[in-house]
Structures are given as structure tokens and as C-alpha cells.
Chain A
Amino acid sequence: DGGITQSPKYLFRKEGQNVTLSCEQNLNHDAMYWYRQDPGQGLRLIYYSQIVNDFQKGDIAEGYSVSREKKESFPLTVTSAQKNPTAFYLCASTPTGVSGNQPQHFGDGTRLSIL
């Protein structure tokens, strides 16, 4: 079955620590996205990547970093500079990034909490 796998499902971060959230897709999609979801605020875009070795900042990129070394993988690092990291993080993908007419497919998310 094709899909998007996010791991871990739950993650705890200590003060001053960087943590990395994994996102892997076997849909052969070019474009991948990271969102943050907070109660009552919908989804906000952190970073997106239209192609391997390229990525762009979204609306709330501060305190986060990404890499896109392989087509199927788009890990997100939450750095110690992100002062309010507690949220539900969602990874998504589309076949290509440039068209507005492709719905995004989502993984089942990682819930990050502060210890």
C-alpha cells in the first residue's frame, strides 16, 4: 500500500534539545510539505520541497530546519530555537509541487511535547 509514514507517533523534547521527525513516502511524489497543527488554528506550513535537494520556507519556518536528500524522505528538525514546539506535526505530499490542482496526501502525524 502506498502512503506516507511518519515516526515516531509521540516525541518528547527536553529544553535545549534538537529533535528530528521522520517522514517517508512511497507514492513517488515529487513535492513534500511539513505543517504544524495547533488547536483552533488549522494547519500552518513550515517548509516545503518541490524536488530533491531543494526546499523553501513556509509561513512559520523559524526554529525549524529540513533536508531533502532523497525523493522519498523529508525529515524535519525542531531546534532549540523553537520556543513553543508543542504541537501536532503533519507531513504531506503531492505528485508535483507546481500545480494548484492537486490535493495533498497526509501522514498520521507526530505529536511533540516538552518535558
Chain B
Amino acid sequence: QKEVEQDPGPLSVPEGAIVSLNCTYSNSAFQYFMWYRQYSRKGPELLMYTYSSGNKEDGRFTAQVDKSSKYISLFIRDSQPSDSATYLCAMSAPYAGGTSYGKLTFGQGTILTVHP
């Protein structure tokens, strides 16, 4: 079983829809949670970053973390064709000392298409 599971989709929605993207994880040490957006033939860009449980909102984007269920979500309101991309969740545990480091563990990515 992978440490982080993400539904690869693809997900296709009409413009203006609310999109829900989700990841589940198995490592209870994860404390830092990120969502990246990746356009075709480009590198991932950071969308949202949250620490521990709770919600964080930035414009049309809301990130939600439920550590008790080991489940994180990204909601996109009023989706636009420009939101069409692959969305990657990523998470990490605090530094544990020695030669360890802030390793990011990624989900497989969800391909989203928003059609006009």
C-alpha cells in the first residue's frame, strides 16, 4: 500500500463547478500538507500549504486537513478553464535529526479538465 493515495481521475467538470480533490495517507507522522498545480510540460507550483489539521482559504481555493481520518482535500470554487491541470498532494513529517530531511511524499496526481 502506498503511503499517499490520490485518485488519478481524470476528472472533467463544466466551468463554474465546485471541484473536490482528495488524498488519503497512512503515515501518522505527517504534519505538513501541500497542494501543487502542474500544467502540461511545466514543473509543479505550490498552491496551498497547511500545517496540522484545519482549513485554509486562498481566493477560490480551500485546503482541508483531517488528521484523525488521515484525509486531505482541496476545493476549487467557480472553476475556470485555466484551472485545467494536474493537481498533486504532498506531505512531510518534521525533521527527525541526523541525515534525515524534510522529505516530501507525493500522491500520484489528479488530472482535472474544466470545459467552457
Q: A-side interface residues toward B, CB under 8 Å?
A: 4, 6, 9, 31, 40-43, 45, 48, 50, 56, 90, 92, 94, 97-109, 111
User: Judging by beta carbons under 8 Å apart, are A99 and B102 in contact?
Assistant: yes
Q: Write the nearest CB–CB distance from B88 to chain A, whole angstroms.
A: 7
A interface footprint on B21-62 (CB within 8 Å = 1, 0 otherwise): 000000000011010100001111110010100000000000
Additional 14 contacts, C-beta under 8 A, given A102-B102, A106-B36, A109-B43:
A31-B101, A43-B44, A45-B104, A56-B101, A90-B43, A90-B44, A97-B102, A98-B101, A99-B94, A100-B95, A100-B102, A101-B31, A101-B102, A103-B46
CA distance A9 to B43 in the complex (A): 11
Q: Write the nearest CB–CB distance from A36 to chain B, whole angstroms.
A: 11
User: Judging by beta carbons under 8 Å apart, are A101 and B8 in contact?
Assistant: no
- In the complex, which residues of chain B have a beta carbon less than 8 angstroms from the beta carbon of A105? 46
User: Judging by beta carbons under 8 Å apart, are B41 and A42 in contact?
Assistant: no
How many residues on B have C-beta within 8 angstroms of the other chain's C-beta atoms?
A: 30
User: Judging by beta carbons under 8 Å apart, are A99 and B99 in contact?
Assistant: no
Question: B6, B49, B95: which contacts A99 (Cβ < 8 A)?
Answer: B95
Question: Which of the candidate stretches B11-19, B70-78, B105-113 sits at the interface with the other chain?
Answer: B105-113
User: What are 8 inter-chain pairs, A to B, with CB distance below 8 A?
Assistant: A42-B4, A42-B88, A42-B106, A97-B101, A100-B31, A101-B31, A103-B46, A107-B43
Q: Write the nearest CB–CB distance from A29 to chain B, whole angstroms.
A: 12
CA distance A41 to B105 in the complex (A): 12
User: Judging by beta carbons under 8 Å apart, are B31 and A106 in contact?
Assistant: no
- In the complex, which residues of chain A have a beta carbon less than 8 angstroms from the beta carbon of B94? 99-101
CA distance A5 to B36 in the complex (A): 18
- In the complex, which residues of chain A have a beta carbon less than 8 angstroms from the beta carbon of B101? 31, 48, 50, 56, 97-98
CA distance A40 to B108 in the complex (A): 6
Q: Write the nearest CB–CB distance from B102 to chain A, whole angstroms.
A: 4
